[in-house]
Amino acid sequence: MRILSGIQPTNVPTLGNYIGAIKNFVKMQNENQDADILVFVADLHSITVPRDRKDIKKNIRSLAALYLASGLDPNRTHIFIQSEVHEHAELGWVLECNSYIGEMERMIQFKEKSAKEGASVTTGLLTYPCLMAADILLYDTNLVPVGEDQKQHVEITRDIAIRFNNKYGETFVVPEPMIQKSGARIMSLQDPLKKMSKSDPNPKGYITLLDDINEAKNKIKRAVTDSIGIVKYDTVNQPAVSNLMTIYSSFTNMSFDEIENKYSGLGYKEFKEDLSEIVANELTKIQTKYNEIINSNELDKILDEGRDYASRIAYKKMAKVYKRIGLGRY
């Protein structure tokens, strides 16, 4: 079985990315001893909207180091940078020619992001799901662990794979999304109806994995709640507290019932104090390891190995795709 996923190197990953995606990669790695696991830095994806060159460079390395700091083990998981395996862009093109503008325009993420970009929406923002489909289909991926917001992109990947297989003969494995039951959509600390996002203009709404520890604690303590005053998991009437409970539960493995019992009769203050310590501990662990890795040669060795491993698989698949379609001489 093969498991694959990636994250865009835009800004620093948030607690949402961590709980919805990275922690899940680590869990899958630890629970599936015979699976072949690939996790990459989706740098080609990060240029669908304008980015500063220096920022991109910094974020690519930083994300790779955060994968390792979060518990991805290079002996188990191949970590690589998307643009270093050129078949991603190549297959992306082929898939663009086997998908329809209408289905790209229906993607929720495209609708949201293009509304923000106004007149300067790039073609890449529209065709992005084809590149994501290429990332997945190049490797005969069976399972794709992602947060809730990427489900639609995995579904279109399935449609494209099935369509290609029908047209050209069996070529791609049809993948399944892997979305956790809890934590797949962590909300903003300032607005529980909005997804926690690293591009939120209000930094109080999110915590990144590299935030200053005290600042992160304060963000939890100042997170919005409600006037009900009872620690209870109720996403309809108490969405903000429920969101904080999701973070709590994800870091302690306690169930919502257990958390409710622990804080019954107590107010939000105690609950938030404890949560701020829990988050601080988790961030401290990650940051300590991150600082050891970020400037090491070890990181480059791991990324070289990952690139070489991924390239061997991608090369073979691409040759097969061209052959099926009739491109080139062979």
39 near ligand AMP, rule: CB under 6 A = no
Yes or no: say if 211 and 232 are a contact pair by the CB < 8 Å rule. no
5 near ligand TRP, rule: CB under 6 A = yes
Residue 123 to residue 120: CA distance in whole angstroms: 9
Point out which span in 2-10, 90-98, 213-221, 225-233 binds ligand TRP (CB under 6 A): 2-10
- Round the CA-based radius of gyration of the chain to a whole number and report it: 21
42 near ligand TRP, rule: CB under 6 A = yes
Picking from 143, 137, 134, 145, the residue whose alpha carbon sits closest to that of residue 1 is 143
Burial of 328 (0-12, 13-18, 19+ CB in 10 A): exposed
Residue with Cβ nearer ligand TRP (63 or 299): 63
CB of 151: closest distance to ligand AMP in angstroms?
8
Picking from 16, 2, 6, the residue whose alpha carbon sits closest to that of residue 243 is 16
Any idea which residues carry the catalytic annotation? Answer: 113, 195, 198
154 near ligand AMP, rule: CB under 6 A = no
Strand order in the sheet with 176-178: 77-81, 36-41, 2-7, 143-145, 176-178
13 near ligand TRP, rule: CB under 6 A = no
Kindly identify the residues of this chain, within the stretch 116-155, that bind ligand TRP according to CB under 6 A: 132, 135-136, 144, 146, 150, 153
143 near ligand AMP, rule: CB under 6 A = no
Do the bridges between strand 36-41 and strand 143-145 make them parallel or antiparallel, or are there none, so unpaired? Answer: unpaired
CB of 18: closest distance to ligand AMP in angstroms?
8
16 near ligand AMP, rule: CB under 6 A = yes
Q: Would you state the structure tokens that stand for residue 30, as one six-digit string? A: 């630890």
Per-residue x/- marks for ligand TRP, 171-190, CB under 6 A?
--------------------
CB of 179: closest distance to ligand TRP in angstroms?
11
Residue 121 to residue 187: CA distance in whole angstroms: 26
196 near ligand AMP, rule: CB under 6 A = yes
Residue with Cβ nearer ligand TRP (149 or 234): 149
Picking from 116, 138, 137, 134, the residue whose alpha carbon sits closest to that of residue 125 is 116
Which helix or strand (DSSP H or E) is residue 118 part of?
A: none
CB count, 10 Å around CB of 176?
13
7 near ligand TRP, rule: CB under 6 A = yes
Residue with Cβ nearer ligand AMP (59 or 263): 59
Q: Which does 205 bind (CB under 5 to 8 A by kind): ligand AMP, ligand TRP, none?
A: none
Q: Would you state the structure tokens that stand for residue 126, as one six-digit string? A: 């529209």
Yes or no: say if 303 and 74 are a contact pair by the CB < 8 Å rule. no
Q: Would you state the structure tokens that stand for residue 303, as one six-digit string? A: 């990324």
Residue from 150, 225, 243, 249 touching ligand AMP (CB under 6 A): that is 150
Which residues lie near ligand TRP (CB under 6 A)?
4-8, 42, 45, 132, 135-136, 144, 146, 150, 153
Q: Which residues bind ligand AMP (CB under 6 A)?
A: 7-8, 16-17, 19-21, 146-147, 149-150, 184-186, 195-196
